[in-house]
Amino acid sequence: MDQIKTLRCASDKSISHRSAIFSSIASGKTTIKNYLFAQDTLNTLEAFKKLGVDIDIDKTKVTIKGTGKYLKESFDIINLGNSGTGIRLISAVCAGQSFLSILTGDNSLRNRPMKRIIEPLTQMGATILSRKNFLAPLAIFGKDKLKGINYASKIASAQVKSAVLIAGLYTDENVEFSEPQVSRNHTEIMLKQFGVDIISENNKVFLGKHRKLTGGFELNVPADISSCAFFMVMCALKPNCEAVFADCLINPTRTGILKVFSDMGVNYEIINKKTMCGEEVADILVKYSPNLKPFYIDGKILPTLIDEIPILSILALFANGKSILKDAKELRVKESDRIKSIVENLKKLGVKVEEFEDGFEIEPTKNIQKAYIETYFDHRITMSFSVLKALGYNLELSETKSPTTSYPNFFEHLKYLGS
């Protein structure tokens, strides 16, 4: 067995976004350690700078002097790049401001669905103009006093839930949100860190009377389990590999991949549990796992591992039977149509794969062919097939720049784990 390696993967993107957003609209000066310095999360910081927030950035931390809910009108259009979380959550902040904000993004983001947040924010009193089919750019005419809402979302979405809760900070009226299954709860956890009264009951969330955010403390962002997933899969597939992934987020709304690992027979162990940012965190030890079973993933678990589907499709190639994904239509409106992106690229490898409207079925293979991989500029597609390439398969990728949106030192870590 090779020497056990230790890797602290990229910091959590969801928590980094929220730490910047809530620190900006809180009172006091808040310090964020281990902030994710990637394109998506840096765009969030730039957005709040344009909205009048004093933000200091250095190599190890971000210091934000919050304004206490209300911001200044931007002289410019706010560009969120590739970030769906950025545009949807910041739209909610802008909904509570008494001025015009114009939010846009790159080509991919301008073609992602925004009706899901436009609908509740409009019901709460904001006026939002968009392109045809509710696409960005968004022109948001906010109000400093919004209306309350009892909103039942048709989809399990942390971004929709977060938008409603953030806009709810700008009203004294009742604010309730429900969803079919519980989605990521980072917003609820962090709002409590900032002193907001919030109650969660199963798949429902309620805002209490105290809605003022109080900063003036230090946040420490854990490693992103969605980013660690690429290297955990690599370790499971690499003979004689054994690695510890440090400070990894194990929030129950994000650990669906660990359940799938257990079902498939991936050799892993959770050690050194602790708390960071109010979140459950641990080190995860992963070892080479030569006897993998196929996965069956459907709607119940999907909200807890939606971002891990691309790398799990790579793991499925080495299972001992057909792996099946269902109820994942949401993957069609990510940075790319991820169902199409995965299926088309797997076919190029010579894999037998059947595409469904809401998923796919993958047959494992021992004969992975040389192929040109079209990444569609989707960071998770690029990183997933880069892992397969690092395992010794003859692949050429259409581009390798997209990981900078979420994991700037991905290839450096890939080389380290593969050495």
Clarify whether 144 is annotated catalytic.
no
Q: What sections of 3-83 are H helices per DSSP?
A: 13-24, 39-50
Is cis: bond before 408, omega within 30 of 0?
no
Q: Binding residue per annotation — 131?
A: no
Q: Could you give the C-alpha distances from 415 to 7, 313, 368, 391, in angstroms and in order?
A: 12, 21, 21, 11
Q: Binding residue per annotation — 200?
A: no
Q: Which residue among 40, 224, 247, 307 is the active-site one?
A: 307
Q: Binding residue per annotation — 208?
A: no
Phi first, then psi, for residue 104 (nearest 5°) are -145, -170
Which residue shows structure tokens 């750019």?
Answer: 137
Q: Binding residue per annotation — 238?
A: no
Q: Binding residue per annotation — 307?
A: yes
Phi first, then psi, for residue 273 (nearest 5°) are -70, 145
Q: Could you give the C-alpha distances from 130 to 100, 139, 180, 281, 359, in angstroms and in order?
A: 13, 6, 27, 39, 30
Q: Binding residue per annotation — 332?
A: no
Distance separating alpha carbons of residues 147 and 410, to the nearest angstrom:
43
| 3-state SS assignment for residue 40 | helix
C-beta of residue 296 within 8 angstroms of C-beta of residue 256: no
Distance separating alpha carbons of residues 64 and 66, to the nearest angstrom:
6
Q: Binding residue per annotation — 168?
A: no
- Using the 8-state DSSP alphabet, how is residue 400 labeled? S
Distance separating alpha carbons of residues 190 and 50, to the nearest angstrom:
23
Active-site residues, by number, are 307
Binding site for 3-phosphoshikimate, residues? Answer: 13-14, 18, 157, 159, 307, 334
Binding site, residues? Answer: 13-14, 18, 84, 112, 157, 159, 307, 334, 338, 380
Binding site for phosphoenolpyruvate, residues? Answer: 13, 84, 112, 159, 338, 380
